[in-house]
Chains A and B, each alone.
Chain A
Amino acid sequence: MSTKKVAIIASRGTLDWAYPPFILASTAGALGYDVKMFFTFYGLELIKRDLDLKFSSLGNPAVPMPFPVPTFAQSLPGVQKLMAAALKQKIKKKNVASIETLRQLCLEAGVELIGCQMTIDLFDYQRSDFMDDVTIGGAATFLAYAADTDINLFI
């Protein structure tokens, strides 16, 4: 049985959207699969040296609320910060692993984290903004690997 391969594109950079790619990548690593994650556009937030992930309920009507909150009220100053704090609190209370933990476990499992060169340049980021373990690559880097994988996800 040859080793299964997984390719994941992570394109979202908020706290909620950070979970699916890291959960799947770390678990795939635990299953012994070969995993590469490609971080593009807002997904680059997930491989920053210091994580500061935001969360917003705006434009995200599926976010569960303890009571109905009109959209205009959600856009008032400070409300989104409260939402983010509430989500972080819930993550802690339910003993869900932090993104920092899952990211570290990915590295320990040999998952390769690749930052998209073009978006790094586009947003004027520096190499030093990102973790040392991250490699930098372009579309061809991803495609050459993805062409030969068993599981391919765009998140």
Chain B
Amino acid sequence: MNDADVTLDARGLSCPMPILRTKQALAKMTSGQTLHVIATDPGSMKDFDAFCRATGNVLQQSRAEQGEFHYVLRKA
């Protein structure tokens, strides 16, 4: 299921921490690499969509699964 280059476990974190941790993780990656973020914040679905639109990173996957949210981002 997870063949992303980097995985970030943001489970249990409230807004805005999943986005802030994502930003930090992306900063350490190179362009084209993928980041898999797992979150439980229900507001994160809209937030990751907005984050990617604002930053130009590509949201390749966004899905809810058993109370968890999975996002796969490709760094711009």
A residues in contact (CB < 8 Å) with B: 4, 23, 26-27, 29-33, 94-97, 102, 105, 108-109
Contacts and interface: CB of A to CB of B under 8 A. Distances in A.
Given A30-B23, A109-B23, A95 B14 contact: yes
Interface of B: 12-17, 19-20, 22-24, 51, 54-55
A31 B16 contact: no
Given A32-B55, A94-B14, A105-B20, 6 more contacts: A26-B20, A27-B16, A30-B16, A30-B51, A96-B14, A108-B24
B19 A27 contact: yes
A109 to B, nearest CB: 7
B24 to A, nearest CB: 8
A94 to B, nearest CB: 6
B20 A27 contact: yes
Contacts of B22: 30
Contact of B17 (A4, A31, A33, A97): A97
Which one of B13, B24, B54 has the highest number of Cβ atoms from chain A below 10 Å of its Cβ? B54
A30 B12 contact: no
A81 B54 CA distance: 41
Contacts of B12: 95
Given A105-B20, A109-B23, A31 B51 contact: yes
Contacts of A4: 54
Contacts of A96: 14
6 interchain residue pairs of minimum CB distance: A30-B23, A31-B54, A27-B16, A96-B14, A95-B12, A97-B17
